[in-house]
Amino acid sequence: MAAKQTEFSSVWTRPQRQRRDQPALSREQIVAEALALLDGEGYDALSMRKLGTRLNAGATSLYTHVASREEILELVIDEAFGEVRIPETIAPAQWRTDLVILAHDLRTAILSHPWISTAMTGAGLAYLGPNLMRMSETMLAILESAGFDEIGADRASNLIWAYVLGSTGTETSMLTSVARSGLSEQEWFAKHMVVAEQAARPYPRISKRYDMYRDIDPTQTREDFFDAEFGVILDGLELLRSRALGE
């Protein structure tokens, strides 16, 4: 018996449909309400039934526009990333600055919509959305203008995406714990450090770092760490670029 072929379908390539036997419910309305639901109640709150109720429409009405909850997530993720700015012009000499701005805007969008970190793992074709495509295209254009070849730009772009999504995902997890605790970030951090320092005592290098960080401002430090760590990535890319250009 021949194996059944898996068919791939994407909300981004399927034509939008309009049912004639009910008042129009647009994709834009669905996305706006889903975004409000996710921002207000979190990732687990989104369901077809609950979204339909908020829109005063049955869940079956939603299926006119989307095939699943996953497709709604793909649409809403892309909508949230529409907040990210891209440079109007790309200047080779400004490649590092342009990537820093883009990375910071990506981080800001994720922190503004904390559910994105979880949703990205369950919305497999989200990267096909126009806003995400626009960002990826821009990132590749910046890197290629700086002197990276197509393969080098592709790998560098993947590295940047992985770092920003991974590091900011850790931030959102921590901030979610802070929000649930009812404490301020500084109060939560102080209590966390007491436990962390105790656990780190058998590990001298880790323990020394906890001692260094005991009195920091956690909010500012998250920003500073992001800048410093992204700077390490850019320094590595600078070295690869210089080698490729024979500088």
Which domains occur in the chain, in start order?
27-81 (1.10.10.60), 92-245 (1.10.357.10)
CA dist., res. 167 & res. 144, Å (int): 25
pLDDT tens sequence across 194-232: 999 999 999 999 999 998 998 899 999 999 999 999 999
Predicted TM-score of the model (pTM): 0.85
CA dist., res. 196 & res. 179, Å (int): 19
Q: Which amino acid is at 74?
A: E
Element (H, E) at 81: helix 69-81
Q: How many CA atoms lie within 13 Å of 209's alpha carbon, on the beta-carbon side?
A: 7
pLDDT tens sequence across 18-77: 555 445 678 899 999 999 999 999 999 999 889 988 988 876 778 778 888 888 999 999
Nearest residue to 210 (alpha-carbon basis) of 226, 227, 198, 224: 198
Return the CA Rg of the chain: 22
Residue given tokens 């889903």 in the structure block: 34
